[in-house]
Structure 1
């Protein structure tokens, strides 16, 4: 069988020696990493098309790539036959072509050109797309590194979870501007980049342009890579100018002896450094150890502190903490005294106080109650620098976002305006694209009818040829790629029960006798109830749910539940209840043994966890996909009453809408805790406000509750 070198020589007899070395270098060095002909074609196919100068069509190039792939796969040991005329390393064409602007035509003697041709800058730049080559090299290197890591760990322990990676074509112009220090813009431009998670490609050839001072909402289905994209930006895996400060609110603040207010103030490193130096100099002067220059330096420090308004920093930090729910006492508590949810709030407070040039937020409303969300919306509306926020809260995006970025089909689409405007424009775009596609299909059919009719008519030969050329020149339009509809269905467990179904009567409850969570609490629900519980974090919402379920016993009073009542419970910490090391199918099999794999798959499929997702380790799923697994597990026994604690956290908007529809169709009772305004309006008919150690039913529903919060803000000076 012919070697790779033989194939290249026979198919491209005029291929330049250096380019021949480059291609064979890729094939030889990365042959074991090509798992399909598609990957090989992605690496060298575009290059072969360009050097063939249109003498070979896509089908011919594909056939050549298939022959090369077959040769490499025949025998790994014989793959070294492709190593003829190898250089020590692949040629970095982007570095060679960096001097084009200097008109140095002697830099590329004969490279990429047929023998005997004159080297010209125009022909070289047209024949090779250096950015594509760099991206191909980056992908191959990443794949090789992963293979080496995988091989080294095969015999040393359990499999390692997949990791995200990014590759980006370099811009010599931006590199020169960065190194020279001339780039002073705070706009973020990331062009022609790819992002992958393990073997899955999340983005390809994407562009992201963030204008300074605008607030961008990043939306898209669960599992498409929104959180991964934020991590790639924050880790600088995608290039951002070094003078732009980035802060990603991702991890909770570590618990130590630092008071919450001081933890926020420490984010201003300039202020902290000046204050520390001021204390040291003052101590030196007081101890008589000065050298005479301390007074002048102190004057400089005081001037700088005044310039940055250091004296106003504690008040500003306190306002941010108060808005996020930290009262005066909590602001003085040490960070180790707070739970994980409150430490995440503290991380958000630190980010808001630090005021980075680019603030990255991933589902910030998940950790907040309705009051804190309303405050955050108001605060971010006056934010001066750039925000990129992932959120599935439509009302939050409508209040905050000036632009929407839609991640779908491995690309990013930009839309001006809030979320509602995005939905209107997107729908209109899809309609226009479909109309354009259908119109072109009709036009193509009309031309084809003429061609078929007169194909063998000598008198019409010229017209047929003209029509054929016209068909070839028509752009290839694709039908609209509509996202599949999300469908969720809760199995009915409805039975006619005589009341009372579920109630608490004059219940008192506390964890410590000195602090009552509830006093004389009396509430009730039936199989037709659609109740939402709201209130500030720490007011006792989750505690009341646990009392209703019987997980916590009242200190005084009575809990009554009908003997046939079957409650399904969704915890806001549902991920903690899942075994992350096994697949979703195995999870259900262990929890509910005795059924077939097909039955488990059908149950998971009802919540959008189908195909390969169902057999992947749960740990590798996105937050929204884990939530769907938890729903599948919760509904398996067919409960007739659901108690849901923050069920929309991590779900994308389409799934939230589907969840609302499913709950409305469910024939049974529902009590839920939620901060998602739209979800509450879609599902709930009653609103219970948890505060002051009791629960109050608000007749005016969510509108009245929102008005109450706004009035509180006005009294507290937030609005």
Structure 2
């Protein structure tokens, strides 16, 4: 029997759990609307009474997760309506859809159990960075195994009690219990846990020295990596990842792709990285038009099947429209002909029995409008001759850098985190001066810089027009609207508080601001972090049309292949151009992995 769950009763029953989760994460699934009023995501669902009874009795041991007939809304905006979600055990699901359709919201709904899921499932959502304290990075990962930690603590306590008593007078029950603890520790291979934790941290870029550093000494990005390492180590029944590649360099992404291909439980990952989805996903879940569609296969299979499905739907719709039109011509012609009355009635009944088909609407292509006319400059534009740099003596970032760029350049900078990519960008923008060598920048070069931390540079209480006006005052409102419109921030979006925009929409505002000074050279630092797949493609197309130069710091392989003709590799205390591009770099990284194994 199916019934609609009483949300009030359900929320009351789960209030304590939800409060603890919100206190732990410090974040609710909410944001201000255009008037500054707090808007919260809400959910309702239809559940099976039999399943509820089995779950309450602890007899439901299904390994598949099924959430049926549920709705999700964000304020007055409906994100999902009568949706179904089935996650089969052991499958790796890539979760895709346009920015703002509700992917991240749904992940939070699942992890907080606002959507009812069988209670025996362990769910881990990697969303918040670990707290910075005195705990060492490797110990923070090991602490995830609560059973191991509990058994080790009990082992210490038992040994202390046994050794505190005089020989021959210890309680035999203590020794018996200690033997049981040793057996349990051996069964869970507790002795192998430190090596496994170290292997995961190493794959995510932590050196041996970093693994024993206290978590409070790491930046937010590195603490997010520790949170990811904890999740990979603990192996929950359902692992939820939201754009995990945002925090990783390319080397760590390649390691993560390899590691997740052997993931033993169920994985649901939101990602804009097509190559990552090709390597990791066994299935694709597509969120669009307030519903969820499931597809077997990786991202390439999904795009092929989706396109075929759309073509079939278009043919079916057109065939029905054609049949309806022919039928109506016959009906209108013989409506008042008594001899043809039965045929008219037959045609009417046929029309009534036809399924209601809605016209197929393709999602529009994403287009960005970068400045069409840029000032031409005579070389050299950017020239680095024997450049070296150090922040303090003895801590050299790089030496002997010889590189150049012009207005036709399409360069991608790659390298491990901490290898000097950000320092190189600051030298090119004259924010730093080299400690040796010469860095020549053309005096008429106007650089448009997109920072991966662009959100921190915006007043989130202002709307997009006001944010643009604050950076470049004195223009007419329609001029700001025109520039924002070139990046899809139109109509009501332009007048909403920036805090209420999705991550991808905030990035679009940042692109608009970047273009207001009509630059002739772009430096883009991780521009894809908050963009959906279609928007990344739109960005790539726009960069290919741009008449100025481009330097890109990115780990998105699809964008690199689409745009970049040259690769600069930071590492080993220098920066060098690499022949062979991204394929050569990947082979180099894979060779390093092989040596580590």
TM-score by length of 2: 0.93
* Aligned counterpart in structure 2 of residue 224 of structure 1, from 96, 101, 126: 101
Assess if the C-alpha contact under 8 Å between 1:406 and 1:413 holds in 2: yes
Matched, 1:214 2:69: no
* Aligned counterpart in structure 2 of residue 201 of structure 1, from 47, 54, 78: 78
Assess if the C-alpha contact under 8 Å between 1:191 and 1:208 holds in 2: yes
Matched, 1:267 2:147: no
Q: Which residue of 2 aligns with 1:347?
A: 227
Separation in 1, partners of 2:449, 2:286: 33
Q: Which runs of 5+ in 2 are unaligned?
A: 12-34
Q: Which residue of 1 aligns with 2:256?
A: 376
Query: Residue 135 of structure 1: CA displacement?
Result: 8.1
* Aligned counterpart in structure 1 of residue 39 of structure 2, from 140, 162, 172: 162
Alignment of 1:391-540 (within 5 A): 391-540=271-420
Matched, 1:237 2:114: yes
Separation in 2, partners of 1:159, 1:618: 11
Separation in 2, partners of 1:317, 1:495: 53
Moved more, 305-314 or 648-657: 648-657
Q: Which residue of 1 aligns with 2:527?
A: 647
Matched, 1:546 2:426: yes
* Aligned counterpart in structure 1 of residue 131 of structure 2, from 244, 249, 254: 254
Alignment of 1:286-365 (within 5 A): 286-288=163-165, 290-365=170-245
Query: Residue 495 of structure 1: CA displacement?
Result: 2.7
Give every structure 1 segment of 4 or more consecutive aligned residues whose post-TM-superposition deviation is greater than 6 Å: 135-139
CA distance 1:595–1:226, change in 2 (3 Å) = same
Assess if the C-alpha contact under 8 Å between 2:3 and 2:48 holds in 1: no
CA distance 1:138–1:316, change in 2 (3 Å) = closer
Matched, 1:191 2:68: yes
Alignment of 1:381-392 (within 5 A): 381-392=261-272
Offset from partner CA, 1:106-131 (integer Å, 9 cap, x none) = xxxxxxxxxxxxxxxxxxxxxxx843
Assess if the C-alpha contact under 8 Å between 2:374 and 2:518 holds in 1: no
Query: Residue 470 of structure 1: CA displacement?
Result: 1.7
Assess if the C-alpha contact under 8 Å between 1:217 and 1:388 holds in 2: yes
Q: Which residue of 2 aligns with 1:182?
A: 59
Query: Residue 648 of structure 1: CA displacement?
Result: 0.9
* Aligned counterpart in structure 2 of residue 713 of structure 1, from 585, 593, 597: 593
Q: Which residue of 1 aligns with 2:23?
A: none
Separation in 2, partners of 1:697, 1:561: 19
Q: Which residue of 2 aligns with 1:632?
A: 512
Query: Residue 200 of structure 1: CA displacement?
Result: 1.0
* Aligned counterpart in structure 1 of residue 547 of structure 2, from 667, 677, 684: 667
Assess if the C-alpha contact under 8 Å between 2:402 and 2:576 holds in 1: no
Q: Which residue of 1 aligns with 2:25?
A: none
Assess if the C-alpha contact under 8 Å between 2:128 and 2:224 holds in 1: yes
CA distance 1:594–1:138, change in 2 (3 Å) = farther
Assess if the C-alpha contact under 8 Å between 2:144 and 2:230 holds in 1: yes
CA distance 1:697–1:614, change in 2 (3 Å) = same
* Aligned counterpart in structure 1 of residue 491 of structure 2, from 611, 619, 632: 611
Offset from partner CA, 1:515-558 (integer Å, 9 cap, x none) = 11111222211111110000111111111101110112222222
Assess if the C-alpha contact under 8 Å between 1:689 and 1:696 holds in 2: yes
Query: Residue 165 of structure 1: CA displacement?
Result: 1.4
Query: Residue 138 of structure 1: CA displacement?
Result: 9.7
Offset from partner CA, 1:404-454 (integer Å, 9 cap, x none) = 000000000000000000000000000000000000111111110111001
Query: Residue 596 of structure 1: CA displacement?
Result: 2.0
Separation in 1, partners of 2:523, 2:373: 14
Assess if the C-alpha contact under 8 Å between 1:138 and 1:167 holds in 2: no
Query: Residue 321 of structure 1: CA displacement?
Result: 0.4
Larger radius of gyration: 1
Offset from partner CA, 1:242-277 (integer Å, 9 cap, x none) = 110000000111111111111100000100010011
Secondary structure in 1 matching 2:210: helix
Separation in 2, partners of 1:438, 1:197: 35
Query: Residue 161 of structure 1: CA displacement?
Result: 3.2
Secondary structure in 1 matching 2:47: coil
Higher relative contact order (CA 8 A, sep 6+): 2
Separation in 2, partners of 1:171, 1:610: 43
Assess if the C-alpha contact under 8 Å between 1:503 and 1:561 holds in 2: yes
Query: Residue 137 of structure 1: CA displacement?
Result: 11
Query: Residue 610 of structure 1: CA displacement?
Result: 1.4
- Root-mean-square deviation (CA), in Å? 1.7
Query: Residue 338 of structure 1: CA displacement?
Result: 0.8
Assess if the C-alpha contact under 8 Å between 1:492 and 1:638 holds in 2: no
Separation in 2, partners of 1:253, 1:177: 35
Query: Residue 136 of structure 1: CA displacement?
Result: 12
Secondary structure in 1 matching 2:39: coil
Q: Which residue of 2 aligns with 1:69?
A: none
Separation in 1, partners of 2:203, 2:401: 28
Offset from partner CA, 1:199-219 (integer Å, 9 cap, x none) = 111001000000000000000
Higher strand content, 1 or 2: 2
* Aligned counterpart in structure 1 of residue 580 of structure 2, from 700, 713, 719: 700
Separation in 2, partners of 1:136, 1:261: 42
* Aligned counterpart in structure 2 of residue 594 of structure 1, from 459, 474, 480: 474
Offset from partner CA, 1:335-387 (integer Å, 9 cap, x none) = 01111111111110000000000000000001111110000000000010000
Separation in 2, partners of 1:204, 1:341: 35
Query: Residue 319 of structure 1: CA displacement?
Result: 0.4
CA distance 1:492–1:445, change in 2 (3 Å) = closer
Separation in 2, partners of 1:254, 1:512: 30
Separation in 2, partners of 1:681, 1:482: 26
Assess if the C-alpha contact under 8 Å between 1:135 and 1:169 holds in 2: no
Q: Which runs of 5+ in 1 are unaligned?
A: 1-97, 99-128, 140-157
Assess if the C-alpha contact under 8 Å between 1:690 and 1:696 holds in 2: yes
Alignment of 1:27-66 (within 5 A): none
Q: Which residue of 1 aligns with 2:29?
A: none
Q: Which residue of 2 aligns with 1:29?
A: none
Q: Which residue of 1 aligns with 2:32?
A: none
Assess if the C-alpha contact under 8 Å between 2:383 and 2:440 holds in 1: yes
